[in-house]
């Protein structure tokens, strides 16, 4: 097992795509898609990569701009999106089974390095923090079980002050890390996080989650 495996597990848990025999991620951030692409290449090679690009209705899209990510690229218009979203995936039942199994046993991750990588992926997919680097440090979840499960993992990284809030209108759960420990958390995952490295951490994960659910 490698650090990249656990990062991509976290990213998939946040922004994952799966069907009966396919698995991948959906995201608007090309750098995150590239990271997951490298993982898929490591496991299965380039030839099996496929991509769907969803873009705003009424606009045009040049699929050629995405052929550096996959040679098989298809584009579809969507009414409820404001910018192109990339869905990179492969057809692989064994890999899908492996991800589902890993997702069910996240609580058993023993290595702190691997756990940090997992949280880096989760944060990059559905996390945000204010520009002050302390307030509103959160990760968004679609269900309470996973939010509470990750809350229970944080003490292993030295994070003891966190809470889970349920936003009924958005149908989401937010895991908030106290402003007293937020900087420590961010520093801990920064070496693996792409979003933190780019300093683009004040995104809106609730909107991203809604887009994926509707797509």
Q: What is the pLDDT, as a whole number, of residue 215?
A: 24
Q: Which residues contact 76 (CB under 8 A, 6 or more apart)?
A: 52, 53, 54, 55
Q: Are residues 85 and 135 in the same domain?
A: no
Q: Are residues 97 and 7 in the same domain?
A: yes
Domain count, the chain: 2
Confirm whether 65 is domain-assigned: yes
Q: Are residues 76 and 11 in the same domain?
A: yes
Secondary structure string (H, E, C) spanning 160-184 = CCEEEEEECCCCEEEEEECCCCHHH
Percent of the chain predicted with pLDDT > 90: 79
pLDDT in tens, 6-29: 999 999 999 998 998 999 999 999
Residue 192: CB atoms within 10 Å: 24
Q: What is the pLDDT, as a whole number, of residue 214?
A: 27
What Å distances lie between residue 3 and 8, 10, 109, 115, CA to CA? 9, 11, 12, 9
Whether 74 has a pLDDT exceeding 60, the answer reads yes
Confirm whether 110 is domain-assigned: no
CATH number at residue 68: 3.10.28
Categorize the per-residue pLDDT at 122 as very low, low, confident or very high, splitting at 50, 70 and 90: very high
Whether 133 has a pLDDT exceeding 90, the answer reads no
Confirm whether 211 is domain-assigned: no
Whether 203 has a pLDDT exceeding 60, the answer reads no
Beta strands in the chain (DSSP E): 16-18, 22-27, 50-56, 72-78, 85-91, 127-128, 137-141, 162-167, 172-177
Out of 102, 137, 153, a domain closes at 102
By three-state DSSP, how is residue 24 classified?
Answer: strand
Q: Residue 127 belongs to what domain range?
A: 123-201
Confirm whether 207 is domain-assigned: no
């Amino acid at each position: 097992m490698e650090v990249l495996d656990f990062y991509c597990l976290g990213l998939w848990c946040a922004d994952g795509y799966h069907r009966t025999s396919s698995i991948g991620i959906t995201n608007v951030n090309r750098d995150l898609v590239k990271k997951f692409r490298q993982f898929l290449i490591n496991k299965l090679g380039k030839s099996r990569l496929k991509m769907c690009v969803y873009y705003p209705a009424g606009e045009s899209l040049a699929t050629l701009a995405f052929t550096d990510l996959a040679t098989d690229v298809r584009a579809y218009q969507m009414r409820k999106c404001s910018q192109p979203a990339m869905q990179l995936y492969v057809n692989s039942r064994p890999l899908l089974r492996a991800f589902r199994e890993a997702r069910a046993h996240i609580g058993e991750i023993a290595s702190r390095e691997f756990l940090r990588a997992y949280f880096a992926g989760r944060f990059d997919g559905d996390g945000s923090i204010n520009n002050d680097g302390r307030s509103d440090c959160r990760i968004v979840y679609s269900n309470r079980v996973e939010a509470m499960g990750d809350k229970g993992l944080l003490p292993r990284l030295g994070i003891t002050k966190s809470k889970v809030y349920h936003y009924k209108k958005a149908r989401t759960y937010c895991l908030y890390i106290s402003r007293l420990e937020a900087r420590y958390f961010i520093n801990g995952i920064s070496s693996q996080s792409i979003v933190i490295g780019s300093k683009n951490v004040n995104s809106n994960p609730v909107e991203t989650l809604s887009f994926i659910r509707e797509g």
